[in-house]
Structure 1
Amino acid sequence: MDTFEAIRQRRAIKAFDPTYQISKVEQDQLIDLAMQAPSSFNIQHWRLVNVTDTALRAQLREAAFDQAQVTEGSLLFVVCADIKAWEKDPQRYWTNAPKEAQDILVPWINPFYSGKEQLQRDEAMRSVGILMQTMMLSAKAMGYDSCPMVGFDFDKVAKIIKLPKDYAVGAMLVIGKGIKPAWPKPGFISSAEMVVENHF
């Protein structure tokens, strides 16, 4: 499936075949594609908790107000952000870049983020969003469906996955074989409302 078609066909699917298993090869491909997502300063704030334990999935489903896709999708990721990734050996994010790029960009990272708690969180969450969209489009291109989720108790989910200090839960992402199509797209605001030329 080409990119344009994947964008148009991707929907948040709620009903998945609980017996269908995505192969390890396809899981690895999906993760490899996710790694291609961009992030500010290439910091790659995202951390994916791949929940394979059925008991943990049941707990997460309860924390998600009993939404069936949490246990019925082939894959369930709790997509988290390492908010302090910017200060954790930032040189490692640039090991394959030309030395002249490393020499300019790596020293910028600390002064850009240091002391700016809101910016640190905003950047981490932006990275999570870009990663999730990359994963959803990749899944669609591979013939699978997905469901991004924020309809859950964030504190309960953090406790269930033993979220480390300085991390945040961004969302959950279910991927699998959909068995019931989504309803028609509910509608779009006009492009005139969406696009503002030059300034508000």
Structure 2
Amino acid sequence: MTFPDLVKTRHSAVNFKENEKMTEEDFKQIFELTKLAPSAYNLQFTHYLVITDEEKKERVKELSHNQYKIHTASAVIIVMGNKSSVEEVEAEKIYGPMKMLKMMDELDYEMTMEQIKGFKEKLTANDKDLDVELARNVGIHAMLFMLSAKHYGFDTCPMHVHNVEELRKEFNIPNYLEPIMMITIGKSVDKVRPRGYRKPVGEFVSFNGY
């Protein structure tokens, strides 16, 4: 499937084939592509909680206004922003091996770590800035996840996440992970519907000012 075909055939699934199981290998191949998504300073802010257990899925459904698509989906995925990604120890895990393998020299390493330190100070000085950064990085990552899933024959639907504190308690989600959205995944049983109206390009794209 060409990339334009992939984009055009990806629709948000309203309902899924019930009892369609997905394996860890299915998810692994999707995430092997997803992990290539860009992120600020390559700090890889996104973390996924994949829920395939039927009882646990039903609990998410209860906390999500009983949306039926969660019941029929092969899995529901809580997509979270990792606030600890800007910590020095996390940056060292990414850039330390690059320095050791001579992919970057000592000067580049020190400059990059200093830039990340300043980036962290900016984000942690204002919760709103951190929230925006998490949302930006998670959104990019999640879109690539949905396209990767479609590439491997699975359908998805992005969803709001509800009752965050209850979800935290139910799944022991630590405070440094911030749930931002959910994605249901499986094999769609929807009839192929005409895509909803999209604005012409000229209505949402401007060049060189207004």
TM-score by length of 2: 0.87
Amino acid at match of 1:120: L
Amino acid at match of 1:145: D
In the other structure, the counterpart of 1:119 is 129
Distance across 2 between alignment mates of 1:71 and 1:133? 22
Cα deviations by residue, 1:97-131 (Å, 9 ceiling, x for unpaired): 42354232222011123124322221121111111
In the other structure, the counterpart of 2:24 is 24
Distance across 2 between alignment mates of 1:83 and 1:142? 30
Distance 1:62-1:182 versus aligned 2 partners, 3 A rule: farther
Are the counterparts in 2 of residues 34 and 131 from structure 1 also a CA contact under 8 Å?
A: yes
Matched, 1:165 2:175: yes
Are the counterparts in 1 of residues 15 and 188 from structure 2 also a CA contact under 8 Å?
A: yes
Name the count of aligned residue pairs. 200
Amino acid at match of 1:36: L
Aligned-pair CA distance for 1:12: 0.7
In the other structure, the counterpart of 1:62 is 62
For the aligned residue pairs, the C-alpha RMSD in angstroms reads: 1.8
Cα deviations by residue, 1:38-86 (Å, 9 ceiling, x for unpaired): 1101111111111133222111101111112212211221011112310
Amino acid at match of 1:105: T
Are the counterparts in 1 of residues 52 and 74 from structure 2 also a CA contact under 8 Å?
A: no
Alignment of 1:8-47 (within 5 A): 8-47=8-47
Aligned-pair CA distance for 1:33: 1.3
Aligned-pair CA distance for 1:88: 4.7
Q: Secondary structure of the residue that 2:178 maps to in structure 1? A: strand
Distance across 2 between alignment mates of 1:58 and 1:88? 38
Are the counterparts in 1 of residues 57 and 75 from structure 2 also a CA contact under 8 Å?
A: no
Aligned structure 1 segments of 4 or more residues deviating by more than 4 angstroms: none
Alignment of 1:133-172 (within 5 A): 133-150=143-160, 152-172=162-182
Amino acid at match of 1:10: R
Distance across 2 between alignment mates of 1:109 and 1:47? 20
Q: Identify, as 1 or 2, the structure richer in helix.
A: 2
